[in-house]
Amino acid sequence: NTGHVALMDGRAYRVPYVLRSMDLWQQAAGWLGADVGWRDRVGLKLAFTEAEAGELAHQVAETREQGGVAEMVGANRARQIEPAVSSRVLAAAWTPREGHANPLLLANAFTAALAHNWPRRK
């Protein structure tokens, strides 16, 4: 597991769960007892053809309908966001809200928590 949490994975029904996941990982120190190395990142999905651009526009619309923040951007804007974007890119779907946790820190945090009978039951 890479620890990546992607808002625009092509499955719009997951958007509310992804948003909640990001909130949980950001707050892991409070409920899990350890920092899991969460880092907020932006997300870009690239379109190299008109058909792909159409698919991305559909994904952006569905993501927004489910409460996510996403927008279509042109190739020049995509290169401003990420200078390494290929000159063959026609358009991109962009979200300011993706991220990842460090899988090693995450595994160690759960191992430690479970070794201490987490979650504690009253």
| pLDDT tens digit sequence for 17-31 | 999 999 999 999 999
pLDDT for 65 beyond 90: yes
Taking the C-alpha atoms of residue 103 and residue 1, their distance in angstroms, rounded to an integer, is: 7
- Identity of the amino acid at 86: S
DSSP code of residue 13: G
pLDDT for 9 beyond 90: no
What tokens appear for 78 in the block? 């995509």
User: Which residue do the tokens 């489910």 mark?
Assistant: 66
Taking the C-alpha atoms of residue 74 and residue 82, their distance in angstroms, rounded to an integer, is: 12
Would you say 61 and 48 are in contact if contact means Cβ atoms under 8 Å apart? no
Q: What is the pTM of this model?
A: 0.79
